[in-house]
Amino acid sequence: MLELETQGLNMEQLNWPYRPGGWSIKQVVHHIADSHMNAFIRFGLALTEQRPVIQPYFEDRWAELADSKNEDLAGSLSILRGLHGRWAQLLQGLGPAELARSFDHPESDRKIPLDENTGLYA
């Protein structure tokens, strides 16, 4: 879907902020790849460790990195295709006990179960 929405956009359109003071369309696309990679890793940690404390990251700073300002979305779109395929396979194999596993998020100072976190990315 994201590929279809961004297909054929020119440089001016990719640099257009989606809201006043917000990120450009290209930054949003790259951010989704960054965010979903981090979430997938957090899932793996929660499934293989006992309530791990995850590492937060500064999304706003990542959005200012050179790769996040690149007009070529192919890399991020490719990451999302592959990552979503793996994530879907992982989720399909989880039962209630695995979905009840959690990780600790230090910024919110709370335990986040995988079933709740799944809803954020659905």
- Burial class from Cβ neighbours inside 10 Å (0-12, 13-18, 19+) for residue 29 reads buried
Q: What is the pLDDT of residue 28?
A: 96
E strand intervals along the chain:
102-105, 110-113
Q: What is the pLDDT of residue 18?
A: 87
Q: What is the pLDDT of residue 105?
A: 96
Paired tokens of 48: 């293989």
Other C-beta atoms within 10 Å of 14: how many? Answer: 19
DSSP reduced 3-state for 80: helix
Global confidence as pTM: 0.92
Which domains are delineated in the chain?
Answer: 2-121 (1.20.120.450)
> How many helical (H) and strand (E) elements, i.e. helices and strands, does the chain have?
7, 2
Which residue reads 């659905």 in tokens?
Answer: 122
**What are the 10-residue block averages of pLDDT along the chain, 122 residues in total?**
92 93 95 97 98 95 93 95 97 97 95 95 86
